[in-house]
Structure 1
């Protein structure tokens, strides 16, 4: 039972959310991932601890994450834009297919179980982490992005999977852009802006699809928990600019390694939860 009326539970919840928000804000600015790669597994663990039904647990984590990363992505994108690391022409090209992918992803997520969403999150994170850890030996697809319609298909894929994972797009767009020879800092900055395009319609989709769902924790609208949003957003907004500043002082190789290591640890934790649920 979600003991929202218990003061001790509220204090512990608040401390957990503030900690998650601080870390997510730094990650958002540093890696251009919108913080979702931190927020989703963290919320999933908290929701598990308070015995929220596993059938909707991941949906609440993903929906809440998408709502949380809206302001974080905006601040991170602005910080990177001021430093000239956002590829505006690419954003204009990718905008429509990204939105199409988000719509499809939100619809599919409303139909599948939370276990499926967890498996998707963990699988993609492991693949991306393994590739990024290879550094300069990582997968290379070419010297430039392909032409249409392949370029649009890549954007739609990023939008769909990112929505189902509850992330801002950096988890996929950063390694894809670097595979096509994008400089890592420009890829990270552009990913922050992509997060804005994904998070707003994605959160709206989870809000609508969760209306009337049974077993949700108190103060949850659709699949968006307002307590999580209220506690995490301020700290992510405060610390995202510092993460973006740090990104421009780190060596590109270290930035890429940090991104890969964090993804790998997150993926292992999520697969642990999936394995337990299958037993």
Structure 2
């Protein structure tokens, strides 16, 4: 009897530890998203991969579940962000409507097709390269020179498809692709960031549907897993992110964000190295 009680106690402690890890991850990603104006996927995916790996999920599948769960959280976090930007009149809704159809197409192709076919090791390597590139962009603080205008409907559909596709492979909201594209097309940085936040919802919706379709036949590796999505992590991280993102946005006005971005870029290099290691180890 005493032995069984000890086992139950250990299990409860592990569950509380797991909950605390997810809560801390969601709080940090939400705060940094509000503080630096970036999505939390680049931070969330490596740490969630680590958490799932420690829960016994094979490395390749852990990467896929981390990417899919990270993307699904954007369904919730994007709503509060868009409301704030919309109140300031910063969202270019005409551009959202122009890019959204392509985003849905690219997201479904990535989530339901390529994501399911690629091994987790390859996705980890793609993620590492993407995060390394994004960190360099952030460190140098280089913005593309506005040298052209927004393309027509066909061009917007093509651009949206690329944004949705890349986002689906790395579990990010697309800001590091859509914001440079829009600034290159003479959209002001303020409007580009706001419009990118609005694009996060169709990106997340299309890719999440794709992940559900692509992973429908997967066996349940953890209680609460639905294909590539891990619902307990999704719930805890999304709730914490929504709560802490406004605090980060408020803190941004009182802090030197440029120095913080440089420090965050250094951390992204470390996370990229970790995902590179995971990809090579699982290959």
Q: Tell me, yes or no, whether TM beats 0.5.
A: yes
User: Paired residue for 1:153, among 154, 158, 177?
Assistant: 158
User: 2 CA distance for matches of 1:150 and 1:260?
Assistant: 32
TM-score for the superposition, normalised by structure 1: 0.86
Counterpart mapping for 1:124-273 below 5 A: 124-136=130-142, 138-140=143-145, 142-147=147-152, 149-214=154-219, 216-247=221-252, 257=262, 260-261=265-266, 263-273=268-278
User: Could you say which residue in structure 1 is the equivalent of 2:43?
Assistant: 38
User: Could you say which residue in structure 2 is the equivalent of 1:64?
Assistant: 69
SS in 2 for 1:162: helix
Deviations 1:221-272 (A, max 9, x none): 1211111022212111111223344456667856865775554443233223
User: Could you say which residue in structure 2 is the equivalent of 1:113?
Assistant: 119
User: Could you say which residue in structure 2 is the equivalent of 1:77?
Assistant: 82
Q: What count of residue pairs does the alignment treat as equivalent?
A: 274
Shift of 1:146: 4.1
User: Paired residue for 1:6, among 11, 27, 30?
Assistant: 11
User: Paired residue for 2:29, among 21, 24, 30?
Assistant: 24
Unpaired segments ≥5 residues, structure 2: 1-7
**Contact kept in structure 2, 1:125 and 1:171, CA below 8 Å:** no
Q: 1:31 to 1:78 in 2, by over 3 A?
A: farther
User: 2 CA distance for matches of 1:40 and 1:98?
Assistant: 21
User: 2 CA distance for matches of 1:268 and 1:84?
Assistant: 39
User: 2 CA distance for matches of 1:104 and 1:184?
Assistant: 29
Unpaired segments ≥5 residues, structure 1: none
User: Could you say which residue in structure 1 is the equivalent of 2:5?
Assistant: none
User: 2 CA distance for matches of 1:29 and 1:86?
Assistant: 17
Deviations 1:52-100 (A, max 9, x none): 1223212211121122221111111111222233222211111111111
Q: 1:87 to 1:262 in 2, by over 3 A?
A: farther
User: 2 CA distance for matches of 1:62 and 1:142?
Assistant: 34
Larger Rg: 2
**Aligned-pair Cα RMSD in Å:** 2.7
User: 1 CA distance for matches of 2:179 and 2:252?
Assistant: 14
Q: 1:271 to 1:135 in 2, by over 3 A?
A: same
User: Could you say which residue in structure 1 is the equivalent of 2:3?
Assistant: none
Deviations 1:2-29 (A, max 9, x none): x9x8212211111110111101112333
SS in 2 for 1:86: coil
The 10-residue stretch of structure 1 (193-202 or 181-190) with the greater mean CA deviation from structure 2: 181-190
